[in-house]
Amino acid sequence: MSPSGKQLLKDALQLPQEERAALAGELLESLEPPGPSQRRSEQEWLAELKRRAQDALSGKPGLTWGETVQRVTDRLARR
C-alpha cells in the first residue's frame, strides 16, 4: 500500500463504525465486477446462504478470523 493509502486507512479507522461501514461499501462498489465464471445467480446465492445458515445452526465450525484474513489477503494479492 502506498504511503498515501496507509494514511487514508489510518484516518478511516478513526471514523465511527457506521461511517467506516459506509466507506467500505463504497470502496467495494468501486471494484471491478468478478468475471463471468465467478458471478452467481440469485438462486445460487440463496442456496449458498441456506447452506451456510444450516451449517451455523448445526454448530459446524466455520473459518477462524485468521483464516478469513489470510483468504482476503491472498485474493487481494492476486489482483
Cell of residue 51, nine digits:
447452506
Query: What pLDDT is recorded for position 37?
Result: 61
Query: What pLDDT is recorded for position 34?
Result: 66
pTM above 0.75, yes or no: no
Query: What pLDDT is recorded for position 30?
Result: 85
Q: How far apart are CA 51 and CA 53, in angstroms?
A: 6
- Chain centroid to Cα 25, Å, comes to 10
- Contact, 66 vs 72, CB < 8 A? no
Distances (CA, A) of 23 to 19, 26, 27: 6, 5, 6
Q: Tell me: the pLDDT tens digits for 9-59?
A: 999 999 999 999 989 988 888 887 666 666 778 898 899 999 989 998 999
With a cut of 80, say whether residue 1 has pLDDT above it: yes
